[in-house]
Structure 1
């Protein structure tokens, strides 16, 4: 009975449990709007930033490699347990793309992503995802780190060895920082602007004009005009033709400065929210003032996003796989790595230039290049070649019969030219 009471006590929200209150009811802000994951995701900018970043990372192929004695790297097949889990089948329900998309989405939104490690005799069998709102690390009085998991009405403390924890940006400590929580002022203002603009356009005729009369109207006439005007109010009645009589005149009003400023603030809030997620506005389809949606400038912005936004996330995941999944097995020669070259998959020009450079400078064989295009291997395609007549690397600088003949012919022609000149 005592254990049950202790369990119920742990499940209750306390005044000191700020994270639980923030997740359930949102973080306070000057706009007076509740800001939590649910309300933030109703903003198209937040949805697009999280979706595009999570998709960009999850679509990259992930592989496990092992360092050899001569510093070569050999790819580990997916028949190995860790490679099979993280690269082929993380759990019974998800594909690798869905799993990593989920992890990156949670990390971007809350700063943390959790998965329970399912093991048997120290062999990793699966990674079961846990919602970030249902798990959080706790430091006990003795300094031991445990993870408190809420699952189907029950609360359980799991040891750190049972949890695979991805942490976002932070100042150290046991958790990453949530942009939605710390950006509550920005997101709260954006929610307020969305609601205000919705009311503005939902009111229809509210800011479009006024009716004036040349004579005083009695109560019945006012009520009659009011009934007529109500048939033109609302977005569903936009475009109807209004007929005025008895000296009534309609005066059109321009958009008030307050409303105009609200629309400008709406544009600015998009850029502000993008800053919290490190995504350039052009990536989500929002062009800044005077910026076009195409050209070399946008291409450079995209490269900057891949370098400063996508690559650091990949590095975080690779480091956590190394620390929490591979290192406990004792095999420190292995490591996981995303194939960043997959980002060139849809750019045929960039991909062709990349493969051409790699094969013509002795960094990749032609069969390795063909494999990246899903083409079959060819005989003689496993030799490294360089730009000098595409000769094998061990033949660079060596004299061949053809080179000797060409050199002799050039010398003979030079001698003949000298003789004619001397005569």
Structure 2
């Protein structure tokens, strides 16, 4: 060691900054890049939410299942663009409406695809052909697929199953997504609502820890004088034996020596926790486009307003997905000639129907009641209501009226 180094001071150690999240999160000074990142994302925030953990939240589960069940439940038909009739003879009609593959129904297929589109942002299905005829739609795990743009601006899908890699052309992949940041892949609704889901998760964990480890005191027994240790022990044993547990709830208490019970009121902190949980349900529902009453938050909007809420849900939550599905099917599952002739259409009439009274008035006007110009036929209304075809029996009163108005025949 040199002589001058003996008198040289050692450089000052950078003071560590501890985060409030816990002692395990440390930073080497305020200029540490990790500290800036911690401040930006708020520590253990929404970025740490996985899809599996997010689905444990009841609000997220309800939003995803409500939309995916609706997409799976509604009929999806292949329609002739010119005649507006169902193209039942086309092989794609059966795949979309009834049986996309050998192991799934149309409901199971569309529900799974929509669920993946909401959670991961993308839903993929392999289009299996025999010649030019589509014979099967096989759902693919979105975590194993990467859409990639080539140098010539065309797109390819790199599918990486276990133990291999396969490059698929867009004509061989049915890709369902709605919102997108780059035009190649969709946006995950779980990631959009990650912070709201994380706060809801942390609130639930805090309340779970409170019920598990905390002390919940409902009230106090007030004694007018000082109570001795023996009397205190006897009172404690008596209270635990007679009034502890759910089976002893709401029993009347027998008090001695002038004691009076005083019940504790809910604190502002308790009310704030309840309000926070309700607010997080609303925040999560807002990201998915699901109205509050559909998530069990409000009870006042049910009754006469439920039809309006259903229409809002269809128009603003389901309609964008209808368009995404219909245009993706036309893009990947049809030839150029078929794109001009055929359309894939969801029938959302079952969700938009009002009460039986409203339907009766609508169909009566559609048939020309009240002087209105008729725009529907009797068989069309029966088909709209999913009723079997039936011929109209002749009305004898109408026949007599027509015969009375006929001019007399010449002898």
How far is 1:283 from its partner? Answer: 2.1
How far is 1:106 from its partner? Answer: 1.7
Unaligned runs of 5+ in 1: 1-27, 382-388, 390-399, 405-423
For 1:64, what is the secondary structure of its paired residue?
A: strand
- Relative to 1, partners in 2 of residues 1:362 and 1:320: Cα closer, same or farther, differing over 3 Å? same
Number of the residue aligned with 2:87: 76
Number of the residue aligned with 1:363: 375
In the alignment, structure 1 residue 63 sits paired with structure 2 residue 77 = yes
For 1:129, what is the secondary structure of its paired residue?
A: strand
Distance across 2 between alignment mates of 1:261 and 1:66: 56
- Relative to 1, partners in 2 of residues 1:347 and 1:133: Cα closer, same or farther, differing over 3 Å? farther
For 1:73, what is the secondary structure of its paired residue?
A: coil
Matched pairs, number: 353
Distance across 2 between alignment mates of 1:329 and 1:119: 17
In the alignment, structure 1 residue 190 sits paired with structure 2 residue 200 = yes
In the alignment, structure 1 residue 120 sits paired with structure 2 residue 134 = no
In the alignment, structure 1 residue 376 sits paired with structure 2 residue 350 = no
Distance across 2 between alignment mates of 1:29 and 1:119: 49
Q: Deviations over 1:66-107 (max 9, x none)?
A: 23xxx4333211x42211211221011111122112222222
- Relative to 1, partners in 2 of residues 1:112 and 1:235: Cα closer, same or farther, differing over 3 Å? farther
For 2:367, what is the secondary structure of its paired residue?
A: helix
- Relative to 1, partners in 2 of residues 1:190 and 1:318: Cα closer, same or farther, differing over 3 Å? same
Distance across 1 between alignment mates of 2:150 and 2:244: 61
- Please, which of 302, 314, 326 is the counterpart of residue 334 of structure 2? 326
For 2:102, what is the secondary structure of its paired residue?
A: coil
- Please, which of 136, 141, 148 is the counterpart of residue 158 of structure 2? 148
Number of the residue aligned with 2:271: 260
In the alignment, structure 1 residue 158 sits paired with structure 2 residue 167 = yes
How far is 1:147 from its partner? Answer: 2.3
Superposition TM-score, scaled by structure 1 size: 0.70
**Contact conserved, 1:344 with 1:351, CA < 8 A, in 2?**
no
- Relative to 1, partners in 2 of residues 1:200 and 1:224: Cα closer, same or farther, differing over 3 Å? farther
Q: Pairwise mapping of residues 191-270 of structure 1 onto structure 2 (< 5 A)? A: 191-202=201-212, 205-209=215-219, 252-270=263-281
Distance across 1 between alignment mates of 2:256 and 2:52: 51
Distance across 1 between alignment mates of 2:75 and 2:404: 46
Unaligned runs of 5+ in 2: 1-40
In the alignment, structure 1 residue 339 sits paired with structure 2 residue 357 = no
Q: Deviations over 1:107-148 (max 9, x none)?
A: 222221111111121221111112333333233566553323
**Contact conserved, 2:158 with 2:168, CA < 8 A, in 1?**
no
- Please, which of 96, 108, 130 is the counterpart of residue 98 of structure 1? 108
Distance across 2 between alignment mates of 1:115 and 1:337: 19
**Contact conserved, 2:311 with 2:351, CA < 8 A, in 1?**
no
Number of the residue aligned with 2:315: 307
**Contact conserved, 2:178 with 2:320, CA < 8 A, in 1?**
no
**Contact conserved, 1:204 with 1:238, CA < 8 A, in 2?**
no
Number of the residue aligned with 2:288: 277
For 2:199, what is the secondary structure of its paired residue?
A: helix
Distance across 2 between alignment mates of 1:217 and 1:205: 24
Distance across 2 between alignment mates of 1:199 and 1:129: 40
**Contact conserved, 1:145 with 1:159, CA < 8 A, in 2?**
no
- Relative to 1, partners in 2 of residues 1:250 and 1:362: Cα closer, same or farther, differing over 3 Å? closer
